[in-house]
Amino acid sequence: MALIYSSDKKDDDIINVEKKYESFLKEWNLNKMINSKDLCLEFDVFFFDCDGVLWHGNELIEGSIEVINYLLREGKKVYFITNNSTKSRASFLEKFHKLGFTNVKREHIICTAYAVTKYLYDKEEYRLRKKKIYVIGEKGICDELDASNLDWLGGSNDNDKKIILKDDLEIIVDKNIGAVVVGIDFNINYYKIQYAQLCINELNAEFIATNKDATGNFTSKQKWAGTGAIVSSIEAVSLKKPIVVGKPNVYMIENVLKDLNIHHSKVVMIGDRLETDIHFAKNCNIKSILVSTGVTNANIYLNHNSLNIHPDYFMKSISELL
Amino acid sequence: MALIYSSDKKDDDIINVEKKYESFLKEWNLNKMINSKDLCLEFDVFFFDCDGVLWHGNELIEGSIEVINYLLREGKKVYFITNNSTKSRASFLEKFHKLGFTNVKREHIICTAYAVTKYLYDKEEYRLRKKKIYVIGEKGICDELDASNLDWLGGSNDNDKKIILKDDLEIIVDKNIGAVVVGIDFNINYYKIQYAQLCINELNAEFIATNKDATGNFTSKQKWAGTGAIVSSIEAVSLKKPIVVGKPNVYMIENVLKDLNIHHSKVVMIGDRLETDIHFAKNCNIKSILVSTGVTNANIYLNHNSLNIHPDYFMKSISELL
């Protein structure tokens, strides 16, 4: 069913995919292509999503290193804007370098673990460690919080907490918790959900989510349950909506756009998700390119069609920029 | 904040609660009371919710045994209709008897573990074991599925499954799964969420939920994250809505109402939740009584006011029926 191109596809699959691709373009009334020369003439700043655009897990998507190097050689500004909260900026930089993106610098990486930390650091009660943060999430968030000397609990410390119901059982929460941060957590459990519920419902803690992606490209083998799964469970028990720092919201990029001081028509977003990347581009009032190497296939398109989110351009893969 | 009455409340709390109670009644324009004599004249069939009405966890709510015995003595029909999926009917019966409801019989207990099994058993592919069921939930569901000789996997067998992401990691699902059943699961984990996601998204499995309660009275000490937390996470990754067999839907009680062959005006539902019990009564076209011994406090009321769900009568506790 997927519009994903990969070298090990069977012939039938490719025909099937080609058909879907054509109807996909037709239905969306998309420009099939924009060549790299025109792209470079039109834009000065390139925002890239990572998972599903540059790589799947640790597997590179063909041509991604060459495209980034090409753009940098042409004097373009390149930013990597990812909702993936499993890594800190430092850890993403390491990944970029390890995979061969040797020209990428820390300041070009804008990730939700960093964004959520910035959100909290900007508030005195957290900066001065008067209030604590309860974390449902992976190491990336905890590392960024530590790097900014914020006071947190939860995270991997609560991975093995079990709930065995008995009449006198109650979870006692730290009364100083002011915020609950929720990202993808591969060790989500009922204890964490209950702890977050109590913080939000009983202590009136802020509820902050990295993002709400339904699925994620965490490995190249299959699509995985995304952060949306974890965030939705906390929404359901608290009857509250979180502040979402990640795409499609513009929070992560506000300062970058201000510092760049560039006309929005010179910026383009390249991503694989309608409801995050392309929606984000709309919210930033910049142009967008949808690639089909990630999560957006015909099924997802049908599910999100009602949202009326359309990219300006479409590419099968980032390698078309070469 | 709660409207819950209990013997160990401090004086200030009681005054606070009294004030909230008065404004609650006023805002809802409720009849403060209906006496037990009038109630017995008006109704012949009594539907009771359990958690928050008869008990909290294993702690009885004062007067609940006496009320049930009183109604049975008066020749009334009594049914217990609960969204709690942790127990089978057999196991609920044991609990009733252990707590002192010695006159309660198995056929008076209608629970979601039983209802979800009935839903599946009515379909040939499950009854003939041609298709399997993936269970996210507690023992109650698995026991009922076993009692009907249905073929299931998951449940507590997957409690300790851990996801450690590596490039070549993929979860292989059983291709014969036709349905995913989701109830409260105190051992929810990422593996289960991912397995369910794959069954629904890749195998097009049916998605069936016991209920969507935001919170539960699983122990008397605090409110707990409810089934809604688990169901919402699967909804978020599958972008699909489940079939919900529990309240407020009428599925559980359809056959009972048919067999009773009684005018709906002679039936009343007694429960503690607006969005399940009272909404359920509206869906059955029967009268309802809201008790404040459960989850419905002023906060919840405010959150659900927009739903415009109003009970016909209001009681502080079931003991007012004595």
DSSP labels for B68-95?
HHHHHHTT-EEEEEE---SS-HHHHHHH
Euclidean distance between CA atoms A121 and A178, whole angstroms: 13
Q: Is the peptide bond before B242 cis (omega within 30 degrees of 0)?
A: no
pLDDT in tens, A168-219: 889 999 999 999 999 999 999 999 999 999 999 999 999 999 999 998 878 8
Task: Give the per-residue pLDDT at B28.
Answer: 59
**pLDDT tier, B32 (very low <50, low <70, confident <90, very high otherwise):** low
Paired residues of B111 in beta bridges: B82
Task: Give the per-residue pLDDT at B7.
Answer: 30
Name B147's Cβ contacts closer than 8 Å, sequence gap at least 6.
B88, B90, B117
Task: Give the per-residue pLDDT at B2.
Answer: 26
**pLDDT tier, A18 (very low <50, low <70, confident <90, very high otherwise):** low
**Range scoring the smallest mean pLDDT among B53-57, B141-145, B189-193:** B53-57
Task: Give the per-residue pLDDT at B23.
Answer: 66
Q: What residue in A sits closest to B203 (Cα-Cα)?
A: A1
Q: Report the share of chain A in percent with pLDDT over 70.
A: 85
Nearest-neighbour CA in chain B from A51: distance (Å): 13
Please, what are the domains in chain A? 34-82+246-319 (3.40.50.1000), 127-242 (3.40.50.1000)
Q: From B109, B107, B152, select the one nearest B127 (Cα to Cα).
A: B152
**Range scoring the smallest mean pLDDT among A92-101, A109-118, A250-259:** A250-259
Task: Give the per-residue pLDDT at A4.
Answer: 26
**pLDDT tier, A28 (very low <50, low <70, confident <90, very high otherwise):** low
Catalytic residues of A: 49, 51
> Inter-chain contact A165–B201, Cβ cutoff 8 Å?
no
Tell whether the model's pLDDT for residue A32 goes beyond 60: no
Average pLDDT over residues B305-316: 74
Task: Give the per-residue pLDDT at A264.
Answer: 92
Is the CB of residue B182 less than 8 Å from the CB of residue B241?
no
Task: Give the per-residue pLDDT at A288.
Answer: 94
**pLDDT tier, B181 (very low <50, low <70, confident <90, very high otherwise):** very high
Task: Give the per-residue pLDDT at B263.
Answer: 92
Tell whether the model's pLDDT for residue A125 goes beyond 50: yes
Q: Classify residue B16 by burial, with Cβ atoms within 10 Å: 0-12, 13-18, 19+.
A: middle
Q: Which member of A164, A188, A226 has the closest CB to residue B189?
A: A188
**Range scoring the smallest mean pLDDT among A6-10, A250-254, A309-313:** A6-10
Chain A residues lying within 8 Å of B188, measured CB to CB = 188-190, 193
Q: From B299, B218, B257, select the one nearest B77 (Cα to Cα).
A: B257
Q: What residue in A sits closest to B1 (Cα-Cα)?
A: A202
Task: Give the per-residue pLDDT at A222.
Answer: 87
**pLDDT tier, A20 (very low <50, low <70, confident <90, very high otherwise):** low
> Inter-chain contact B187–A186, Cβ cutoff 8 Å?
no
Cα distance from N-terminal residue to C-terminal residue, chain B: 27
Name B55's Cβ contacts closer than 8 Å, sequence gap at least 6.
B61, B64, B99
Average pLDDT over residues B49-53: 92
pLDDT in tens, B205-242: 999 999 999 988 788 788 899 999 999 999 999 989 99
Euclidean distance between CA atoms B247 and B210, whole angstroms: 9
Strand intervals (E) in B24-140: 45-48, 55-56, 59-60, 77-82, 109-111, 132-136
Radius of gyration of chain B (CA): 20
